[in-house]
Amino acid sequence: MIKKIQSFAKINLFLYVTSRRKDGYHNLCSLMTQIDLYDDLYIEFSKKNISITCDHPDVPNDESNIAYKAADLFLNCFTKNERKEKNGLSIKIIKKIPPGGGLGGGSSNAAAVLTSLNNYHKNPYSKSQLMKMGLSLGADVPFFIFNSPAIARGVGEKLEKIEILKPYHLVLCDPGVHASTAKVYKNIDFKLTTNQKYNMNTALSVLLRGVDFDVRDIMHNELEESACRLYPEIRETKEEMELLLERKVFMTGSGSSLFALFTEHENANKGYEKLLSKWNKSKKKLFLSSFKYDL
């Protein structure tokens, strides 16, 4: 039995770094939503062992792949609790989400594997149990299991559903550089983030009241300055996008992907075509996407 699954990307509409933790990680406050850019996963159940393949050269085809780790974790827990013999599965990933771009592709793959295995075995674990399982794999995995626009706090595991979030279209750009999450966080200048906490609290008060608002008024990413210092290509691409699209452009996650929002699909498509004609011979990759709401 082979099951095809769509594994969706996410963007951070705002991201604030609230503190550095004793364990070396950072506490965050972020507004996250899934978009309709996705990887295709083909999962075949009831195999003797776990195996994984991916068509992208930068994604591993072994046990270091986070989707493999997700399968191994679930099956170890399930067989131990159910006192059953451990079976395997095969996972084939057709990659459309740029790896290392702050779009959560690997975490989304892991969440898709956990959810699929849970469904296949007739839901032995609740959503909260799966989210806890996912957190041990990566901070963004619980968000994809949660499956709703949300405010994420802590390292990303404390999620609060956002009921009202207007749909937007976006032009998304992979500037062709792989940003190291560890390096970007290590490079944060907290002196530059202090004055943003008022803006964060204002954004939260608007969101959590459930009132109608324009999300573009509260967008911000405190990791952007650090990423741009480490990778000048991100800053150069951002500035060129803003000039050509005539609007603000933001980075998602720890980078390097950049995006601009549009209320109308026609305008987003025009912006996409303009960038495409400008960069048709460059290493930059462009995507036309939108917020995903059929969650």
Half-sphere exposure of 45 (CA within 13 A, CB side): 12
The residues that are catalytic are: 10, 140
- Report residue 138 as tokens: 């990566």
Cα–Cα distance between 236 and 222 in angstroms, integer?
Answer: 18
Place of tokens 């969440």: 111
Distances (CA, A) of 51 to 62, 79, 100, 103, 218: 7, 18, 22, 24, 43
> Do 97 and 108 touch, CB atoms closer than 8 A?
yes
Helices marked H in the chain — which ranges? 66-82, 105-120, 127-135, 141-146, 181-186, 197-209, 224-230, 232-245, 265-278
- Residue by residue, DSSP assigns 190-218 as GGGTGGGHHHHHHHHHHHHHT----GGGG
- Report residue 123 as tokens: 């839901």
> Do 63 and 72 touch, CB atoms closer than 8 A?
yes
